[in-house]
Amino acid sequence: MRVRRPIQGVLAALCAAAILASGCARFNDAISQPFTTAPEMAPGPTSTPPPPPPLPPKPFPKACPAPGVMQGCLEST
């Protein structure tokens, strides 16, 4: 569909006028209110965390069950 040159000029002028008119909008900020009230910030309850569970009596076995695996044979210091 071909649009003739005069129609293109009118469309361009209408678009420019719409852009310029939208920049002139003014809003009254004095009557605007927040959607919700501001929450009151209070510190959380202070409590001490529970102690960690006790360690097992022997963390690593002394005898190597698998000689190819080194992590089971490490000595605890």
Q: How many CA atoms lie within 13 A of 48 on its CB side?
A: 3
- Tokens representing residue 55 in the block: 């360690």
Residue 36 is predicted with a pLDDT of: 73
pLDDT in tens, 24-44: 767 776 666 667 777 788 887
Sign of CA dihedral 59, 62, 63, 69: positive
pLDDT in tens, 49-67: 888 888 777 666 566 666 6
**Angle (nearest 5°) at CA 39 between 35 and 45:** 155
